[in-house]
Amino acid sequence: MSNDKLRDLHTILCEKLLDKINEPDAKSADLNVARQFLRDNGIDAVPTDDSPLQKLIDEMPFNAKPKSVIKN
């Protein structure tokens, strides 16, 4: 397969994923496919002040006190 065809395939896949995750009824599986596509392509993000990623992090319950480990 030529590089042009691979580039076209990559572009089409990206566009279809964008369309799918922007649909009101997008499923978690759709979001997971998009997440994996980004990961496979070396795309990551660093949260910045007031960014959607930072807002998501702020909503996560990770700031809670860690639970004690019960040892037998």
- The structure tokens 């279809």 sit at 16
> Can you give the pLDDT at residue 60?
84
CA 70/CA 54 separation, integer angstroms: 32
Q: Is the pTM of this model over 0.85?
A: no
pLDDT in tens, 31-69: 999 999 999 999 998 889 889 989 988 888 875 555 565
